[in-house]
Amino acid sequence: MFGWLRGAGGSRTVAIDERLWREGTAPWLFMRGLGAEEEARLKATCERFLARKRFSGAHGLEVTDLMQVEIAAQAAILVLELGDDWYEGWSEVIVYPSQFVPEREVVDEAGVVHLTRDPMAGEAWLGGPVILSYEDVLLAGDEAQRVAGYNVVIHEFAHKLDMRNGDANGFPPLHADMPVAEWRRAFAEAYADFVARVEAAERLPAARAQAALDALPLDPYAAESPGEFFAVASEAFFETPEALAGAYAAVYGQMRRFYRQDPLARLGRA
Ligand SMILES: [Zn+2]
């Protein structure tokens, strides 16, 4: 169980006991090579996150302390060197037991309104909640089922960072020492290359197409839009940095400056 404490100045903080912390962080690839000092700050970031955000279960799901730590630790790794402010302005994390199917009205080019029901693993709303399928949360930690680099929590919280300056378009607010042109060039070149590689894979005969898609350095979903490319590249940055840096070194370099972390160097120490 969490200990609920009253911090100095009356703010509520949460204390995660060591056993729960170990259990809640053991599955995640991004923990590899994290130093003791970094891990202590990650835990403190996680505790502040839990004190500030409200978790709700959908479809009768009880969101246990362990589930909250599992999700919060992954959210916390993104802002470890950025600060809690990056997650300000919204308050709720909604967890579904498995993929959820929101009903959406979509207007097509002919002006006809369609009702869509596409199953989703996660969603991040501008100024609103983060919504997650817990079954998909676990996929990032399941050694047997793990698709390396797939991490729905990192994905949705990367969208949240991107949304600090409006829509999730792959262009989050950059730090003052980061030239905008460098970011744009690195991402535009990588995105164009990746879209071309996905399209080339999809043109192959069906029997070979899937293997070609699986061999790509990023989840093919990154080709959906520059916003999705940033979110998927963020998953890879923390989970499979060797794949991202190997394929798109300039993007890795920009992300290292943006997140102020170097997961590839951590991996070398692990
Ligand atoms: Zn997305």
SS3 94: strand
* Ligand 1 geometric centre to CA of 5 (Å): 35
SS3 142: coil
* Ligand 1 geometric centre to CA of 149 (Å): 14
* Ligand 1 geometric centre to CA of 99 (Å): 14
What is the mean predicted confidence (pLDDT) over 231-246? Answer: 95
Residues 117-175 have pLDDT tens digits of 778 889 999 999 999 999 999 988 877 666 667 899 999 999 999 999 999 999 999 99
Average confidence score pLDDT of the chain:
91
Report whether 84 contacts 76 (CB < 8 A).
no
Whether this prediction's pTM lies above 0.85 is answered by: yes
Which of 148, 104, 147, 101 is closest to 120 using CA atoms? 101
Which of 193, 189, 190, 173 is closest to 257 using CA atoms? 173
* Ligand 1 geometric centre to CA of 224 (Å): 9
**How many other C-beta atoms lie within 10 A of the C-beta of residue 127?**
7
- Looking at the DSSP bridge assignments, the partners of residue 6 are 12
**How many other C-beta atoms lie within 10 A of the C-beta of residue 8?**
6
- Two tokens, residue 56: 């709700």
Residues in contact with 207: Cβ distance below 8 Å, sequence separation at least 6, in sequence order = none
Residues 194-225 have pLDDT tens digits of 999 999 999 999 889 999 998 999 999 999 99
Which of 26, 22, 8, 17 is closest to 47 using CA atoms? 17
